[in-house]
């Protein structure tokens, strides 16, 4: 039974309304989402404007101007799109935003990351309703395309003058849920590398031992990659101080080749998804990967579909005034923070690569990690607590005294 009632918290109602907008790939309803977000912004009293990118997609910017707009701003980034669903595996329809008797709200995007969008907005609503005026301007950037790489969204936007004119001081973006009481804060990200290895060899009849076969070479390549995967997995499991963001993950995501059951193919290939932490020397790692390919024999080639070489991180200690302003209100609230490297990839990587500090944070503790999973949900109490947390954090960040070079 859906527990919707007339007494539901208005912020929860707004969250569920946003979840019902089908911004799901491959055809996300960006127009419907932007119309909704502009309406909410107008109700709060935020300025809104749209930036059309060369990709044809639109960035929505919502602004609350500070009393000292010349100071660097606080940018709150959130992506609008969500990943596809397999409805047959969901307990409730994935775009119904069903709330059960325990207050769990089920919908695609509850964790990734429509919750954060509404938490940003509701935090600003609270601050404005209290009559607060903050020195630094706060901008919300609502962006498309993140779930399929951000290449038509944030990757383009950070190169536009409209982004530079936001005068970013610190950017907040998404993080992850935490099953424990600890909140993860991400100060950097792994470098995603996607590589396909092509192996060519002699074809022949399936009844013979073909010596120089493509399959034999591919087997050697796959073995090398998966042996390394196992070493990294064991390194993670044997050291409690390490997180997933500290090791290199390797996954075989695609294998192809062959035309018939009884024909030894002349070409086979395998694609791997690797996520490399910023502590790894990328040039040395590249040489290692390519030596595995060469060792498999002749006629082995490879191509990178993605090879991020940027390893910029944002310092997570009190020498960084932005970290201090982020972490102090969390300490005052009694929250336990754990700085980590993000194990996957978000739009923050483009922000950092453009030269601006960024932290990834989603205030969801005591919550299983369900992004991209069936039955993605977020508990209403956790969602509402996140608004309170963001209210304190945003206020603190937007009140950072003038830094060196600012007036």
Beta bridge partners of 183: 337
Q: Strand locations in 144-231, DSSP E?
A: 168-173, 183-189, 191-200, 204-205
User: 142: left (phi > 0), else alpha (psi -120 to 50), else beta?
Assistant: beta
Tokens of 141: 């950037």
Range 322-326 contact pairs with CB under 8 angstroms and sequence separation of 24 or more: 322/169, 322/170, 322/357, 322/359, 322/397, 322/400, 323/187, 323/359, 325/170, 325/396, 325/397, 325/399, 325/400, 326/170, 326/185, 326/359, 326/361, 326/393, 326/396, 326/397
Catalytic residue among 81, 174, 189, 347: 81
CA distance 389 to 129: 16
Catalytic residue among 112, 145, 146, 173: 146
Which residue is associated with the tokens 């509850």? 110
- 375 in active site: no
In 3D space, the residue among 296, 406, 312 whose CA is nearest the CA of residue 357 turns out to be: 312
Phi and psi torsions of 323, nearest 5°:
-65, -40
- 146 in active site: yes
CA distance 283 to 56: 35
> Going by C-beta distance under 8 Å and a sequence separation of 6 or more, which residues neighbour residue 402?
68, 71
In 3D space, the residue among 332, 316, 331 whose CA is nearest the CA of residue 185 turns out to be: 316
DSSP secondary-structure letter at 334? T
DSSP 52-110: E-TTS-EEEEEEE--SSTTSPEEEEEEE--B----GGG-SS-TTS-EE-TT-EEE-TTT
Return the SS3 of 13.
Answer: helix
Return the SS3 of 228.
Answer: helix
Q: Which residues are catalytic?
A: 81, 146
């Amino acid at each position: 039974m859906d527990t919707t009632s007339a007494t539901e918290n208005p912020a929860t109602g707004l969250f569920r309304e946003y979840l019902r907008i089908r911004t799901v790939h491959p055809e996300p309803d960006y127009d419907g989402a932007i119309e909704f977000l502009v309406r909410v912004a107008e109700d709060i009293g935020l300025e809104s404007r749209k930036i059309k990118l060369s990709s044809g997609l639109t960035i929505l910017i919502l602004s609350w101007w500070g009393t000292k707009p010349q100071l660097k701003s606080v940018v709150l980034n959130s992506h609008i799109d969500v990943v596809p669903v397999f409805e047959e595996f969901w307990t409730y329809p994935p775009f119904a935003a069903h709330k059960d008797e325990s207050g769990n709200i089920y919908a695609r995007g509850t964790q990734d990351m429509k919750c954060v969008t509404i938490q940003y907005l509701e935090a600003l609503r609270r601050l404005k309703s209290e009559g607060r005026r903050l020195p630094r301007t706060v901008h919300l950037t609502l962006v498309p395309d993140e779930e399929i790489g951000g290449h038509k969204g944030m990757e383009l936007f950070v190169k536009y003058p409209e982004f530079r004119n936001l005068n970013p001081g610190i950017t907040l973006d998404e993080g992850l849920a935490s099953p424990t009481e600890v909140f993860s804060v991400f100060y950097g990200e792994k470098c995603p590398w996607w590589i396909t290895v092509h192996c060519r060899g002699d074809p022949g009849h399936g009844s013979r031992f073909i010596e120089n076969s493509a399959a034999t070479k591919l087997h050697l390549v796959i073995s090398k990659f998966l042996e390394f995967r196992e070493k990294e997995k064991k390194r993670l499991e044997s050291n409690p101080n390490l997180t997933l963001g500290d090791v290199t993950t390797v996954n075989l995501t695609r294998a192809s080749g062959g035309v018939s059951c009884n024909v030894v193919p002349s070409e086979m290939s395998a694609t791997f998804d690797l996520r490399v932490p910023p502590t790894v020397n990328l040039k040395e790692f590249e040489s290692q990967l390519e030596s595995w390919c060469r060792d498999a024999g002749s006629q082995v080639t490879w191509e990178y579909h993605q090879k991020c070489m940027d390893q910029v991180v944002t310092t997570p200690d009190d020498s960084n005034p932005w970290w201090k302003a982020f972490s102090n209100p969390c300490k005052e609230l009694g929250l336990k923070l754990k700085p980590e490297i993000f194990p996957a990839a978000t739009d923050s990587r483009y922000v950092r690569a453009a030269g601006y500090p960024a932290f990834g944070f989603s205030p969801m503790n005591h919550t299983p990690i369900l992004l991209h999973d069936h039955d993605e949900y977020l508990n209403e109490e956790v969602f509402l607590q996140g608004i309170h947390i963001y209210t304190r954090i945003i206020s603190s960040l937007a009140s950072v005294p003038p830094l060196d070079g600012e007036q």
